[in-house]
Structure 1
């Protein structure tokens, strides 16, 4: 069974949702048969690369809220993250263009290490005080700190075309699904869950998607080989 998760590194609910989903998956009886794939979704694709902005300032302008309201919202997000064992910096965070991060995530997917890359990016954004966006060297440092080869990281970042088509393909699929916010979870292209839901709901979705997997219809049954050997034709 495959679970696809559309996310963006800018998104605090994606950070929180990843932990809640993973907690549910850890208790799922068939976890070893679930393939998790992280898909790309940019929350602010028009933000200039190489720059960063203040999160509080961004949210006050985008949603028309007061600074006090946004700061209180960040505190609530911090409390929710802490409740599931995640660190969360409630002030001083930045935001920016995440396209290069998505390209790195596709590269890490080819290496079979997408989870590790995403965890490193989330921690750098939400749990560390040093600014994260708009600085290629900072991004390299984060990836290398997570155990990725520096030469490989730089080769991806130095070539803007590498994995760009993969990112765009994910975003196109999201549009076709009607995704307008993240995190967004798709189970075997049959069921979907939106938002950082509680582990119990993710557990329910995993179970339902597993139970509803298509099973082959037997049209004929004859001699065959199995784990205990092959049937011997009788004269």
Structure 2
């Protein structure tokens, strides 16, 4: 089974949705080791976001949706609680909003190299943003995460010092636009079933079970 999903590293529900999906897959694998691959596709919530941090996460949310700082803080606290319920030390309030284009580019590098490296890097970048409050537009941070995931430092630097994988990122974003995807996360299972949003674990599990049965017929 192949699952692709459009996501952005600055999207809390993308991280939560990914963890929900992982939990559902783990449940299925506990019963019968299924061959399920999950591949992230690039989506930028704010392609014009600066590479230098200029706002707090609370200020960014308030300005984007016309909220008071108090209301924005309440929303962020609610998201933190959702993440913490999954065992993640979610600190969305401490996140440092910035451009995610280069993070997506090194993700494409990882995907071209090795599936496990790509999955590890994706997890590291989500945690860098939502747990460790790191600036994921910072090339030093991206190089460090790439190395930690198993990429060669030189390979990451070559990508960041050029426009490598820019075309691939833009193509994935254009494909999302053609599909009418305007919010993330957005999951597609076996090119047949579309699942928008951070669905509950039980809902992911239900859909995947149904798909596995159909594929076996």
Q: TM-score, normalised by structure 1?
A: 0.84
Q: Does 1:26 align with 2:30?
A: no
Q: Distance in 2 between matches of 1:198 and 1:114?
A: 24
Which is richer in helix? 2
Shift of 1:214: 8.4
SS at match of 2:194: strand
Q: TM-score, normalised by structure 2?
A: 0.91
Q: Distance in 2 between matches of 1:212 and 1:168?
A: 33
Q: Deviations over 1:29-50 (max 9, x none)?
A: 56532121111101111223x3
For 1:119, the equivalent position in structure 2 comes to 123
For 1:51, the equivalent position in structure 2 comes to 52
Is 1:51–1:133's contact at 8 Å kept on the other side of the alignment? no
Is 1:105–1:118's contact at 8 Å kept on the other side of the alignment? yes
Q: Deviations over 1:134-178 (max 9, x none)?
A: 421122123223333211111111111x11121112112211211
Shift of 1:59: 0.9
Is 1:140–1:150's contact at 8 Å kept on the other side of the alignment? yes
**Aligned-residue CA RMSD (Å):** 1.7
For 1:153, the equivalent position in structure 2 comes to 156
Q: Does 1:135 align with 2:142?
A: no
SS at match of 2:34: helix
Is 2:103–2:136's contact at 8 Å kept on the other side of the alignment? no
Is 1:108–1:114's contact at 8 Å kept on the other side of the alignment? yes
Specify every segment of 5 or more residues in structure 2 that has no aligned partner in the other structure, as ranges: none
Is 1:4–1:39's contact at 8 Å kept on the other side of the alignment? yes
Higher mean alpha-carbon deviation, 194-203 vs 25-34, is at: 25-34
For 2:10, the equivalent position in structure 1 comes to 10
Higher mean alpha-carbon deviation, 50-59 vs 199-208, is at: 50-59
Specify every segment of 5 or more residues in structure 1 that has no aligned partner in the other structure, as ranges: 216-235
Aligned length: 212
